[in-house]
Structure 1
Amino acid sequence: MNPQRKIVTASPENSETPLDNSAGWVTPNRLFFVRNHFEPPVATDAAAWTCTLDGLVARPAAWTFAELASLPQHTVFATVECAGNGRSFLRERAEGVQWGAGAIGNAEWSGVPLRTLLEPAGLAAGATEVVFEGADHGEEHGHAMNFSRSLPLAKALHPDTIIALRMNGEWLEPNHGAPMRLFVPGHYGVASVKWLRAMRVIDHAYPGFFQTTKYSVNRPGPGGKVRQPIGASAVKSAILQPPEGAQLGLGRHLVAGLAWAGEEKIAGVDVSSDGGRTWQAAQLKGIRQPYCWCQWETRWTVGAAGDYTLLARAHTETGQTQPLDYNPDNLGYIINLPIARNVSVAASRPAQVYFADAPPWNDFMEAYATENSRRPLDVELALTAGDGI
């Protein structure tokens, strides 16, 4: 358990990325949030790990870690957020881990495209979903179970859906699903089943506990509300500067943060300093990549002392916008309303207390973007002896 992360629960570990102290576009593995539903499985030698495939396939199969590591690899950068991130900010307490804002991180993920395993197996004509089961085991509502989720077949066959073996160029760590996990860019973290042991192709909607009871939301149906499993991440933003409770002086201040939208692209971010009555457009900065968060910033000029409530609201290229209120039909998930930053301003304080040029990691991000503009970020790599990334 890394004390550099904010520990929310100790057993099993659930801990947050320290967002306010982020120093780069990529979240280091040691700071990347951890979400465990059950205690992690007892550490097993990767050499002895096997993942199986059965169900509606003509040729059931199994792969060892070494076999997967020897196949052509695909790399994708993606922001991953827990579907319950921000739950502690809700006015009415919702069941589940009481996350602050830090159950999110951005990383480079590398592994085997799932379709290169599924397609040669001979998918049956009626196949509609693939079920993924992890090795983590526990009890929910009096029933013993392993953690499992399913994906629609089309998403399972997407070229960016992978069996991940590496994170930020390093082999996965135990708390991040070592030695292998499913990784589904653009979806909430619950989709990316850790400690992957088994895959099964089916022809119906999977009724698993973490698909229908937990990690599901109410949506309108022909006869009223129906439960739907959570999928793609919603549009959202976070203010990183100034910090909550900051004491500022009159003058000009930097307001900056991050925005992300799962499978969609961020088109803009608006910022309010009066609790949402008026808004001004912020400037998008730094790296812009599919599935990934982007930085934004604006300058706020304060001419009067008092207490202020700062809000940020992102919108996507397809017109999706953060809602100003929480939808109770989300059942404690998809908490993407703007989270307030409250600050106070006094005429007696120096104006430059919190005003500065963009933080140092801006320069890092711009340099990173320039370097990676010379090559595609999503590449296929054949890992052979003596070669690497």
Structure 2
Amino acid sequence: MPQPTDSGDAIGTRLRAIRKRRGLTQHQLAVASGVSVSLIRKLEQGERDDTRVETARALAVALRVPTSRLLGGAHETSGARPAVVDRWAPVRGALAAPLPGPEDDAPTVAGVRAAVSAAMPLAAGDRLDELAGVLPLLLRDAAAVGEDPAGRSVHAGLMRLVGWAFTQTRQFDAAEDALGRALHSAPTGLDAAAAISTQCWLLLRRGRIAEAGRLAEQWADRVEPRMSRATPGELGAWGWLLLRAAAAADRDARPDDADRLLRLAGAAAAALGHRAVPGGFLRAFDARTVQLKEAEHAMIADRPDRVLHLSAAISWDGMRPTSNNLNRNRLDQAGARVRLQQYAEAVDTLETVWQAAPQWLPHQRYAQDILSQVIARRRTLTPRMRLLADAVGVPL
């Protein structure tokens, strides 16, 4: 949830000071940013002490300052709904204190590794409810073998999966705990870089964009390989960290830095070629990964036509759609359709995502925002739009 701030550190105080320094009225800032005068007024008068990162970025671009300067250090996006918190309580409990296993049937490293591998398709298929059902026992068994040198990598991999799942479901504190353990248990530098990459995504989801950018760039510098002899794992780790840093720069209203980092990620993908990055879907990286982020970059830069053009150019041959690739890109496509006032097409796209990933879509505030914009522009809703609004969780 947004953290409380004192009046001297509130976003409205900073907004008013920077606006006056730029010599803009509230109305002029509204025209330049596309943010309503009423919202600007509420922020400056303290009637609202929080706003979406996308709104803050639009204001920051118009004011020619980084988004992080406008938001300050206390901004935090909202977390999971109560129903999600309740559903995942056994997983959080097992993370905090794993249940004791049967004394006459102690787990083995090989057995736990196989069990974790068997659970990966649930994550890759966005079957989050089923994943929540198996994680408590996996956490129990991984804790039992985690002290074994051979079991350390298994434990680290599971912690990263748990951190990813908690981030997907917006349980941010639990995600931070799990990813901290993944980093602590990481047996190699590449395992550590993988944990950091997911941690950067967590920070971005929390709205801590400056922190995410610093961490991603520090680790990208740390793991940058020698291109002439880099392994697929090294190129994938470096590429993902560059993409996290680019995403942070985008949201921080630093488009030139985002362009530079995307170009470097493209160089990593070109050096990788057709070689596969080992480590499963959480580490998967190739030229299409960069293309997807370029489309996201265009969406943040408010270039909806380019979003659709870039998305149409991506080949999905040989890649299974997941929340890490096509389903996330479809949300950008739906958002672009709304910007272009193609509301029926936007709803069609959201409905496609719902059919493909019904357990993932309700956790996406981005989808709620997109559908809310469509609803606001409709006098009446069709039955399928009402059904989709309930599924996505658009507030009444």
Q: TM-score, normalised by structure 1?
A: 0.23
Structure with more of its chain in helix, by fraction: 2
Q: TM-score, normalised by structure 2?
A: 0.23
Structure with more of its chain in strand, by fraction: 1
